[in-house]
Amino acid sequence: MHAWLCTTPTGVDLLQWTQLPTPTPGPGQVLLEVKAASLNFPDLLIVQNKYQMKPPLPFVPGSEYAGVVQAVGEGVTHLAVGQRVACLSGTGGFGTHALAPAALCMPLPDSFSFVDAAAFIMTYATSHHALIDRAQLRAGETVLVLGAAGGVGTAAIQIAKAVGARVIAAASTDEKCALCQAQGADATINYSQGNLREAIKTATDGKGPDVVYDPVGGEFAEPVFRSIAWRGRYLIVGFASGPIPSLPLNLPLLKGASLVGVFWGEFSRREPQANAAMMQELAQWYGQGKIKPVIDRTMPMAELHAAYARMGSRQVQGKLVLVNEG
Ligand SMILES: NC(=O)c1ccc[n+]([C@@H]2O[C@H](COP(=O)([O-])OP(=O)(O)OC[C@H]3O[C@@H](n4cnc5c(N)ncnc54)[C@H](OP(=O)(O)O)[C@@H]3O)[C@@H](O)[C@H]2O)c1
């Protein structure tokens, strides 16, 4: 097998396409032939040693992937050789094969393409957990999604529409705003132009959004929180822009509003049954055509460096997926 190996976590440049012995799955593991692997923002952070999880070296990055089971380890009863699955294991996906924990593999019906499946779990689970569990978003409420053309952002638009909410999508270019509109956003804001607070006021008839979904952090958090509606819920999802913002605590008091932390990975570990029920609902919604990953593009697995560069320079719209051909 071949895989992108990280021996020195100082950035993307040192990742090497390396020949490795094809492993035999141990107890509770399966060996997958990787068909597709998507890029998530943590994949960019982990190879720079900037992510909260720091795998022992060397490691193969690639948090999320889909493929075909080639061998099963001892004690694995719910998966069989030849089965199509998606998996989110945090590392291991950027290669021709991956050793995956069987418990984290989601069996796929034939109608679920490998490209869509590789781009599904992280973004939809995060956005469903955030909007429906953490924010208790209800039909008729207004949600403002920041970074709305990105991976978790596009999933948030689709999930909010699926539950009957009104969606305002905010992004940094007109092209990204157009993509959000095509995904069902009711209004868009290009936050690179004009006054963000005024634009939010106009888009919500002065009321402010009931829920804010923020995977961006940085300079927008305070002005956006100042714009939130009475009893608003501000979802802290991530800090893609870099800086972790801080907020004067009189602001939540004045709005009767809540700051709501979102950590889907920890939720899935601590509350596995609730997570499984959520994944089942998401798979059902996919089958019904209510949600579908927005694929920025597919690129050959060999082009990982270029794929990372595209994500790092904010060019990805939706999800970028690496594929093994043949
Ligand atoms: N809390 C959780 O459980 C959880 C789970 C998954 C992901 N996350 C976090 O959510 C965030 C987004 O992840 P993602 O996979 O959706 O990433 P993504 O597809 O790259 O989207 C991030 C968006 O952030 C915006 N952005 C603003 N400044 C940026 C900068 N300097 N560099 C890159 N992007 C910038 C970009 O939109 P504009 O150009 O429109 O501004 C971009 O589309 C990450 O911080 C990730 O760690 C959290």
Backbone phi and psi for residue 295, each to the nearest 5 degrees, phi listed first: -100, 110
Task: Find the 147 Cα to ligand 1 centroid distance in Å.
Answer: 6
Written as six digits, the tokens of 166 are: 């009104």
The tally of CA atoms less than 13 A away on the side-chain side of residue 222 is 10
Average pLDDT in the chain: 97
The predicted structure's pLDDT at residue 325: 85
The predicted structure's pLDDT at residue 181: 98
pLDDT in tens, 233-283: 999 999 999 999 999 999 999 999 999 999 999 999 999 999 999 999 999
Going by C-alpha positions, the residue among 230, 189, 235, 224 that lies closest to residue 210 is 230
Which ligand 1 atom minimizes the distance to the CA of 311?
20
If you take atom 13 of ligand 1, which residue's CA is the nearest one?
Answer: 41
Q: How many helices (H) and strands (E) does the chain have?
A: 11, 15
pLDDT tops 80 at residue 216: yes
With cut-offs at 50, 70 and 90, classify the pLDDT of residue 207: very high
Q: Give me the residues paired with residue 26 across strands.
A: none
Going by C-alpha positions, the residue among 48, 113, 55 that lies closest to residue 89 is 55
In a 3-state reduction of DSSP, which class is residue 227? coil
Strand order in the sheet with 211-214: 187-190, 166-171, 142-145, 211-214, 233-236, 258-261
The predicted structure's pLDDT at residue 317: 97
pLDDT tops 80 at residue 166: yes
- Answer whether 242 contacts ligand 1 (Cβ < 6 A): yes
pLDDT tops 80 at residue 326: no
The predicted structure's pLDDT at residue 170: 98
pLDDT in tens, 121-143: 999 999 999 999 999 999 999 99
- Kindly state the percentage of the chain with pLDDT values over 70: 100
Task: Find the 148 Cα to ligand 1 centroid distance in Å.
Answer: 9
With cut-offs at 50, 70 and 90, classify the pLDDT of residue 72: very high
